[in-house]
Structure formats: C-alpha cells, structure tokens
Amino acid sequence: MTTTSTGSSEQEQEADDRALGFWLFLLGDLVVFSLLFATYVVSTRSAPSLTAADFSLLRVAQETAALLASSFAFGLGVEAARCQRFVLARALFAGAMGLALIFLALELAEFVALAAAGKTPATGAGVSAYYALIGAHGAHVASASVWLAVNLIRWRSGVWSAWAIENFARLGVLWHFLDLVWIGIFSVVYLPEFFP
Amino acid sequence: MFGRLGLDALPFYSAVAAGGALVTVTGALLVLGVISYKRQWRYVWSEWLTSVDHKRIGVLYVLLALVMLLRGFADALLMRLQQATALNSGGFLSPGHFEQIFGSHGTIMVLFMAMPFAIGLINIVVPQQIGARDVAFPFLNLLSFWFTAAGAGLVLVSLVIGKFSTAGWTGYPPFSGLEFNPGVGVDYWIWAVLISSVGTTLSAVNFIVTILRRRAPGMNLMRMPVFTWTALCTSSMILFAFPALTASCGLLAFDRLFDGRLFTSGGGGNAMAYINMFWLWGHPEVYILALPAFGIFSEVVATFSGKPLFGYRSMVFASVAIALVSFGVWLHHFFTMGASANVNAVFGIATMIIAVPTGVKVFNWMFTMYRGRVRFHTSMLFTIGFMIAFVVGGLTGVLLAIPPVNYLVHNTVFLVAHFHNMLIPTVLFGYLAGYQYWFPKATGFRLNDDLGRWSFGLLFAGFWIAFMPLYGLGLMGMPRRLERYTDPAWQPLLLVAAAGAVIIGAGIALLGVQLIKSIRDRARQIDASGDPWDGRTLEWSTASPPASYNFTSIPMVSGRDAFMLAKRANAASTVTTYVSINIPKNSAAGPALGFAAFVFGFAMVWHIWWLALAASVGCVAAFSWRGDPESETVIVPAMQVAEEEKRRGRMAPIADMRSP
C-alpha cells in the first residue's frame, strides 16, 4: 500500500463505514421500540388502558401531519443540500425543526390533558405503557431536535463541506426512522381505538 | 435544589458499609495522590484518558475490569463469610446490607468486570489481528469506555453516598418497584446499567463495522482468527440483546419515576413482562461473555500446541450457531413461571441443543492439543483448567435444562453453583488467559510465569472447593441469597465453601503480586521480538507495544494463521521505504461526555431534575457537535514513522505477507 491510496476512495470508504454504523445503531434502537410495542400490546390487553374517549382524533391527526410534513421537509432539505442549494436547504431544515417542535408541543398538550383528566401512569398498566411508548418516541424526537439545532447553529451560512451534508443526511435517516415508528404508533395505539 | 440528597445519605448505618466506603474513598484519593505526587497528570491525561488509540483504550478497559474484580470479589468474600457464620444468628451483616452485597456482586462481575475485560481484550487485539491501523470509529471507542466507566463510577459512588440495590443483580419487580423499594438503591442499579449499556452498544457497532470493513487485503472471513470471529459474534449479539436490557431497565425506571403500573402487583401490571425482557438480554449475555473467552482459548491452544487450530470451520460455525440459538433459550431462567409444559419443553430442548456446538468446541480444543508440542504457559494452564471445569458445569446445565429437574432445584444454591461453574472457568479463566497471553503485546514485557502458575493453581483449586459444596447444598434444599439459616446440616459445607473463597482470594492476590513483580523486573521480562510465544496471527507481527498506527504498511494475507505463514515463507522485510500515516487525534470530549453521563445518572438517582436535564441536553448536544472527520486526524510523517520503527528495533518490518 502506498501513499496515493489515501485519496478520496479512503474517505468514501470512511463515509460508508459511518453510514453502516449508523444503520446498525438504528437496528438496535428498533429492538427497543419493538419491545415497547410488545409491552404496550400485552399491557393493554388485560389492564386498564386508554380508549377513544381519552384521545382527541383532531390532535392525533395534527401530530401525524406535523411529523410527516417535518419528515418530508427534511428529505427535501437533504436533496437541496446535495444539489448545493444551501440557503434552501437551511430553510427546509428550519421548517422541519419547527414542525417537530409543534409535534412535541401537541404531544405535551395531550399528556397534560390526560393527566388533568386523571389518567396518569398510576391508573393502570395499559395507561403506563401508553406513556412509556409515546414518551420514548417523543424523547427520541426531542434528542434528534437537539442534534438538528446544533447543526443549524454550526452551519449557519456559506458553503457546506461534504461532512456537513453527510451529517444532515445521517440525521435525516433518524428523522425518517422516527416517522416510521410514529406510523406504527398511529396504527397500533390510536387507529384500533377509533375504528375498532 | 438537591432532590433527595441529604447528609443522611452517608453510610453510617453499618460499620462494614462505612468501612467499604472508607476503602473506596481512600483508594481513589491514593490514585489521585500518586499521580499528583509524581507530577504525571499531563502524561495520564494526554497519553491515556483522552487517547483514541485502541490499544490504550483496551488497557484502560482491562484496568477498570481488574479494579472492579477486586470490588466484586470483596463482595463475594463477605457473602461466603456471612453464610459460614450465620447459623441461628445474624452473622456480621444486617439483612439489608447483605442484600446490597449480593446485588452489587452480580452487577459488578457481569457488567463492570466481565464486560470491560472482554471489550478491553477485543480492543487491544482485534484491529491488530485483522491487519488494521485502528477501529472504524476511534472517538466512539473512547466514548464507549467513558460511558462504561461512568456506570462503574455510579456503582462505586453508591457505596459512599446512599445505598445500592437490594433487589439482586436482576432487579426483579415488584420488589424492585416503588412500593417495596422507595430508596435510591434500585435507581443506582438502573442508571449504572443503562449508562454502561449505551457504551457497550456503541462498542458493538464499532467492532462490527471494524471487522466487516477494515480487514487487510486477502483476509476474507474464513481466514479471520477465531478470536476475531468470536468478537464479531459477540458484537452482533450485543447489538440485538442489549436493547432488551435498555427496555427492561428503562421501563422499570419509568415505573419508579412516574408511579407507573407496568410491573407492579396492582393495576394490571405484569412482573413477568420485565423478567422476560430482562432474560431476553440476560441469556444472550452469558454467551456474549463466553464467546470471546472461547476465542481466547482457541488462540492460546493453537499457539502453545504449535499447531493450527483443529476444525477451524466447525469452530466458526459453532460460534455462529451459539450466537443464534442463545436468543431462543431465555425462558429456561424461569421454567417455574407457569408457562405450559409444551413451552417449557421447547425451551428445555433448545437449551440442550446449545450444548452441541459448545461440545464441538471442546473436542476441537482437545484435538488441537493432540500430538501437539504443548508448552505449559500460564495461559495454557488456564485453558486446560477451563476445559475440565467447563464440562462439569455444562453437564449440570443440561440437568437444569430439564424442566422437571429445574422445578426441584429452582432458586437453590445448586443454580448458583452451576452458573459460577460456567462463568468462572469460561469468563474469569478465559480473560485471565487472554491477559497473560497478550500482556507482552500491550506493554512490551512478559508477566512472571511462575507466579502466574501459582495464581492459576490457587484459583483452580479454590474454585472447586468454593463451588462443589454448593451443588450438594442445593440438593439439600438450601435457597440462594440466604442471609441466615437454621439448618445445622448446611454449615459444614458452607465452611468448606468459605475456605474455597479464601483460596480464590489468595489467587487474586497473587495476580497482583505477579503484576507488581513483573513491572519491577520489566527489563528482564522484555519482549524485544514482538512475538514471544511463536504466535500464529497478525498481532504478533507488530512490535510490542505496537506503534500507534500498528502497521507501517498494511499486510497482505494469503491464508489462515497469516503471521505463521509469513514466518514459514521467510517473507520478512520486503519494504524498506516508509510512508506517512493518518492517525486519529486525542479527544477531551470522551472523558467530558462520560463525566456528563455520570452526572446525569447521579442526578436521576437523587431526583435533581434541573441537573439531569442540563446534563442530558449537554450530552446530546456535545455528541452532535462532532468535528469534521478530516480535522480529527493527524498525519505522522514518513520520517517520524522511520524513526519510530528504528526506536522499536524494527528496521525491517514484516510488511508483505505474500508467500514468495
């Protein structure tokens, strides 16, 4: 091996390695969520749990719309960054961030409303499992938002390096992953209550 | 402001606990004092604590493991002495304190002794075995270490501030729930486990990517050394198993923080859901620990028999089979749960099936020795001792796998005897074999072999004397985790077991003597060749200790036992020109993030919410603020590489492993 091989091919390999590592990490995270789903299903079958009367269909629809739109904006942002249109990319990422914060605010409002109605985790295992599953997803969204905030502060202006684009794209994978988990939550938690 | 934290957290409830706290604090102050006195802070900080060199990180892991081994063994000794004396009396430990001790013994030995030891050895060896200059993610590697250290730190701090969990190392609810355990003990356990498991998961990702993507040219999967194979299997298992631990402990934390009902007796809670999830991690964990040890034995037995490993292919398939089947046996930890007979039968049979690939391995090791020219280095003694003891433990394991038998001895010390009979020969002997075997590679000098043999002899004898009586006691009906008892028939055997524990203690003490004496005699014990045992795999082709970049030029591999092939073909020194090499830069962010994680855990334990929020947001933000990969490496110029090699007496490095 000679010096010449430390060129771009090695950098590409390292970028590939980082991508592989991140996907492996998500695989592990997926196992956590699958166990949370399993806990939810088991706990709601036999214990006091939440029903359609406890949820607001409108709020769930708003949450879903906010998160899906955020994911869409993020996807467009990554494409814009790859096309070197950084101003547009920044705007799209900021939009994705705003929508994620709206989602988090809605979720918090839901928790507050439930707690005000006396439906705290102490009500029963089903309610606890609900808070645990939704809360874990929300905590993920919040962490991803911190990451995005850091990136937006870090790359405020100018031309982004390949690393910056890669970093946003990596966060995008997490962003879409959390979207998919939400679709699972929507299908397993809310939908069966409204359309049994 | 400070949550539940107050002056009453200090351990004045028992003289033994206060003594333990005193030893911990004194030990920490002593280490800090010695470093300050010798004015070595700059060296310790820049060469070790912030180093991203995988060998240095590996050594830190092993040091952590050895420190925690002392703490875990101290717990063990206290338990054995208590049980030896507590016939019709309270012994010298209060019930609550005894519960803390068996909880911390298990937690420490599994998560803070065995895991760091395994990951440390993998760190030191695997990149060298596959002909790589470093792991795929050097900074992540440092971070993993510091997260593990943060978890271990929480366990140690629990000795001084507050109490540790009284719910055992498995933390079964409802006892570990808020209702029966409102104090901080279980929280210490939860957050130590959660924080360290983040580190372990990141390590697993790192090693999967490293092994899959960073092998030297020519080293296809079926040419990888068996230790690397087992590291790959173990990392994959960690990736799939540790999330189950995260989920179970995380949900238990949820129950405790928000007064949840997931695992409580009332409100429709289901404690068995926790226990299932816990063992969904816990059983693979047994093999996560065992597989690297199997890999170490495979390396040691081949090297010291002077032969290639017998049945390489079957060894690889056996490792992969164990990794897969180990995910399908978790229910055998609670056959008495009340699942149907058919469910129990399935898990019982799966458990027996896993003994098959394990048996294959034992035969492979024996046939490797057969007609070999066996040299009885300390690591080889540990290997042989392991094979004998392991077969006995395996047999009692198959006994326990039969559900009707399991009902009879469930929760007795027969079980305690069984799993110590598996874990001590496999994990302790295995990692100590690896420690003795790779020590010269990590430090540049050999350990004193005579003291090593004595240490092995004491550990081996002590093991039998300490644990065989427990089989008998279990059949006599003695439950595990007993703080006092009234049956006089048990005491003689418990006295024998206590004597065994003392002998094991002497063996561990000799390990310390061996280390000190070897350091003192390092000039005589020096390993100038880099290949003290006539090794077969690539890690022996580097200098001892290797340069930060391991290889001046990446070796070409043409077969298994690549270094042995090169030696046979006399293929040394074909390259005499040096090139500049990129190596990763040190990072203070590693220890800083680890400290933040520790603060976060501590704040969660004591309900200091503002601090927990600040630490967690800080952690995520700092982790996101990752430097450009370009700016995180430095170049070692060719000149410096040449000088480095000259200093290491390696004017003519073995660079090209191709046979002529």
Q: What is the pLDDT of residues A96-146, one digit of tens each?
A: 999 999 999 999 999 999 999 999 999 999 999 999 999 999 999 999 999
Chain B residues with CB-CB distance to A3 below 8 A: 579-580
The shortest CB-CB distance from B270 to any of A125, A147, A150 is to A125
The shortest CB-CB distance from B208 to any of A24, A36, A129 is to A24
pLDDT over 70 at B654, yes or no = no
Q: With an 8 Å Cβ cutoff, are B239 and A28 in contact?
A: yes
pLDDT value at position A1? 34
The count of C-alpha atoms lying within 13 angstroms of the C-alpha of B38, restricted to the half-sphere facing its C-beta, is: 10
Report how far residue B268's alpha carbon sits from residue B115's, in angstroms, rounded to the nearest whole number.
36
pLDDT value at position B573? 52
Asked whether B401 and B407 are in contact (CB, 8 A), the reply is: no
Among B102, B115, B184, residue whose Cα is nearest residue B151: B115
Q: Which two tokens stand for residue B268?
A: 């429709």
Name, in order, each residue with C-beta under 8 angstroms of B349's C-beta and a sequence gap of 6 or more.
none
Tell me the three state secondary structure of residue B499: helix
pLDDT value at position B659? 37
Q: With an 8 Å Cβ cutoff, are A16 and B206 in contact?
A: no
How close, in Å, is residue A126 to chain B by CA atoms?
A: 8
- Mean pLDDT for B205-231 is 97
Give the percent of chain B with pLDDT over 90.
Answer: 83
- Cβ atoms within 10 Å, residue B379: 29
Q: Which of A1, A8, A23, A37 to mutate to test the interface with B (most CBs of B within 10 A)?
A: A1
Lowest mean pLDDT among B10-24, B350-364, B509-523: B10-24
Q: With an 8 Å Cβ cutoff, are B258 and A121 in contact?
A: yes
User: Given CB atoms, is B130 within the 8 Å cutoff of chain A?
Assistant: no
Chain A residue with CA closest to B206: the answer is A21
From residue B615, give the alpha-carbon distance in Å to each of A135, B39, B195, B587: 19, 31, 13, 19
The DSSP bridge partners found for residue B645 are: none
pLDDT value at position B649? 66
Chain A residues with CB-CB distance to B268 below 8 A: 43, 46-48, 124-126
pTM of the model: 0.95
Chain A residues with CB-CB distance to B251 below 8 A: 36, 39, 132
Report how far residue B162's alpha carbon sits from residue B188's, in angstroms, rounded to the nearest whole number.
9
Among A68, A137, A118, residue whose Cα is nearest residue A96: A68
Asked whether B204 and B273 are in contact (CB, 8 A), the reply is: no
Report how far residue B270's alpha carbon sits from residue B216's, in angstroms, rounded to the nearest whole number.
50
Chain A residue with CA closest to B583: the answer is A6
Chain A residue with CA closest to B197: the answer is A28
Interface subset of B 255-284, CB within 8 angstroms of A: 255, 258-262, 264, 267-270, 273, 277, 280
Residue ranges with strand state E in B498-611: 581-584
Lowest mean pLDDT among A15-29, B244-258, B381-395, B552-566: B552-566
- Mean pLDDT for B213-235 is 97
How close, in Å, is residue A88 to chain B by CA atoms?
A: 22
pLDDT over 80 at B502, yes or no = yes
How close, in Å, is residue B580 to chain A by CA atoms?
A: 7
Q: With an 8 Å Cβ cutoff, are B262 and A43 in contact?
A: yes
pLDDT over 60 at A2, yes or no = no
The shortest CB-CB distance from B273 to any of A13, A31, A42 is to A42
Report how far residue B626's alpha carbon sits from residue A161's, in angstroms, rounded to the nearest whole number.
14
